[in-house]
A and B are shown apart, each in its own frame.
Chain A
Amino acid sequence: MADFEPTIIAFVCNWCTYTAADLAGTSRLTYPRNVRLIRVMCTGMVDPQYVVKAFLAGADAVLVSGCHPGDCHYINGNFKARRRIKLLKEILPRFGFDEGRLRLTWIGASEGVDFAHTMTQLVDEVRALGPNDVRSQMVL
């Protein structure tokens, strides 16, 4: 299992986490290349379907990351995201998904270091969890 390289899909909001990722890049910070970002305008627009689709497509973990609570560019989109992710985590196990593989974090636009750190930590944790077997289950 030591050579397992997880695939992580991150839905990041345009105004905070995507900018933080940009900052991490321009600051020449390194973080594992296992993370693939999908830019959305706001975490509030992340439909639970996207998360499920990402798992089914083969993601070992899904991260949703936006602005800190109260800092949303669209007033309260991140609060809506927080509610949706909370509910989604409750129903995911009933369909055979591991809810621990879905993460929600807040990374502000200026927190490039924090972004790199969070990604490193996340990849380490998912590596410990092992591959997501939901896809093979679905095929069966």
Chain B
Amino acid sequence: MRERVKSEAISSLEEGFDGVLGLKRRWGQVGPYLFTDPTELNEMEIEPKYCHAKAIRSLLESDPGLRIAAALRGCDVRALRELERLGRIDLGGLRVIDIGCSHEQARECNCEKPTYETLTCTGCWKCIDACPAGAIERINVCPILVPSEWNEKLSKRKAIYIPFPQAVPQKATRDSDHCLRTRGVLECKGCENACDAGAILPEDEARIDEIEVGTIIVATGYDAMDPTPLKQFGYREYPNVFTALEFERLSNATGPTRGKILIRDEAGGFTKRPESVAILHCIGSRDVHYNEHCSRVCCMYALKYTHLIKEKVGHDTPVYDFYIDMRCFGKGYEEFYRRCQEEGAIFIRGKPAEVTDQAIKPEEEGKLIVIGEDTLLGRRLRVPVDMVILCTAIEARADSTDVGRLFGVSQSPDGFFLEEHPKLAPLKTATDGVFLAGTCQGPKDIPDTVSHASGAAAQALALATRGYVEVSSAISWIDPDICAGCQTCIGLCAYSAIEFDHLRGVSVVNEAMCKGCGSCSGFCPSGAAQVKHFKKKQIFAELDGIIAAIQAVGV
């Protein structure tokens, strides 16, 4: 350990750091010392534990431009990072040389997060099988914990992680926004040392590869609406109001609770079983204030949740489904609805007005109260429950406009990508060779998405395997000798088939994309744009012919 710290200290000085903060024995006592000469480093000590945070802070405060390295323990690093978070220190010029505490030292300090002996770990993951749940995070090499996107931020993941079980490919990825090494905070080599395969490339960076292709399938998916702005439903205000995707992770066997449907206790941990659950349909969809469209999948997954709660939490658990209309449109769906009704789920027609924790009756104490109306009975309701699930809307992705522009695909009023024809060409777009698959075109359930995507793949392959495209002969052509370069046609073209040639100062038709509608020829002020077979000369000749015939023989 001492040798490694020393060698990193020497290399830091060689790289031009102003000094290395470490410990040195002077007058019989060990104290902090700023090493500036590599020869002095022989006297550097790493024991005992010594908190350098204060020294670093005063050093960096006296001279903010100072670049120093420091031999630090995990607790020092955490203290400094906390100071940085509070804005009291800028760690831009600091390099950390980490000193690993032994397990004995960690136990002495009662340290929750020792900088463990990462170097001896082979990353075989055997420890994960052997270890009780809570300790996995300590033994696994990466010290960083970030809210897991896959688990809807209900659990943590490392800065190096396999995105989700059954990921294809099943390979670890490094999150360079959080990794200490890539951020340059700490020379952490935990994962590198642990990897037997040597698969971790320390200097590897994200890069952009340019690939030339003949067809493109846009499958950018959707955004689940964030229900926070709908204050009346109390998402984020009450800990046991969940979105549908969060519930999905809770009930999933690979999720944070290993498939147990649990709710948060007072401390925020998932420990309690819900005694009753309310599922609120159409949150943000079929709502003129948010999204007018129906999200299409919510009714069926709400029924799935109803069934899962009955099955996993207990058949006596009351589940209340607040719906506007039950839309069970697919094969076997209506039968499933009936089955859930027979299992005892309570279906209430009426969208709730509010979720609150203000109890007015004794049985409402400590519960979430869903306030609504049963519009079939014409009766107002207050339903006390332990857990509320919000079936949030499927929305077009926030960056749809930019992505659409990139591919020349327009959007329908709801923000989803517009297909060429709603019935006859639901996979094609206005741009030839660009196809749509899945929810980027509109809300879809899994069978619909699979069908849509298979169709898009088949159509893309049909174009690609042939190796060439047939272009209609009746397409536009802009005479470069006449074109004045006004670019009016570029704005008119519905297929983005006209580009401006800056070198010659004229507009040029991309023959592979032009469909021959003639919008450009109808407007071209100089008459440069003409559709082949429908040129001005040809139309005029046709006109003259017709009139001549009429005059010759009469109508």
Contacts and interface: CB of A to CB of B under 8 A. Distances in A.
Interface string A51-78: 0011001110000000000000111110
Given A44-B517, A45-B517, A80-B519, A57 B547 contact: yes
A9 B551 CA distance: 14
A84 B524 CA distance: 12
Interface stretch (A18-26, A30-38, A108-116): A30-38
Nearest to A73: B517
Interface of B is mostly: helix
Given A41-B474, A45-B521, A75-B494, A5 B547 contact: no
B522 interface: yes
Interface string A67-98: 00000011111001100100000000000000
Contacts of B492: 80
Contact of B534 (A41, A57, A76): A41
B369 interface: no
Interface residues of A, number: 30
A16 to B, nearest CB: 13
A47 interface: yes
B171 to A, nearest CB: 43
Contact of B543 (A5, A9, A74, A75): A9
Report, as a range, how many residues of chain B touch the other chain: 20 to 34
Interface string B459-491: 000000000000000100000000000000000
Interface in B530-544: 531, 534, 536, 539-540, 542-544
A7 interface: yes
Contact of A74 (B474, B515, B523, B555): B515
A50 B494 contact: no
A102 interface: no
A53 B540 contact: yes
B536 A54 contact: no
A46 interface: yes
30 contacts: A5-B554, A7-B550, A9-B543, A33-B555, A38-B542, A38-B543, A38-B546, A40-B518, A41-B516, A41-B518, A41-B531, A42-B517, A42-B518, A44-B518, A45-B519, A45-B522, A45-B531, A47-B521, A47-B522, A47-B523, A49-B536, A50-B536, A53-B543, A59-B547, A74-B519, A75-B494, A75-B495, A80-B492, A80-B519, A81-B522
Interface of A: 5-7, 9, 33-34, 36, 38, 40-42, 44-47, 49-50, 53-54, 57-59, 73-77, 80-81, 84
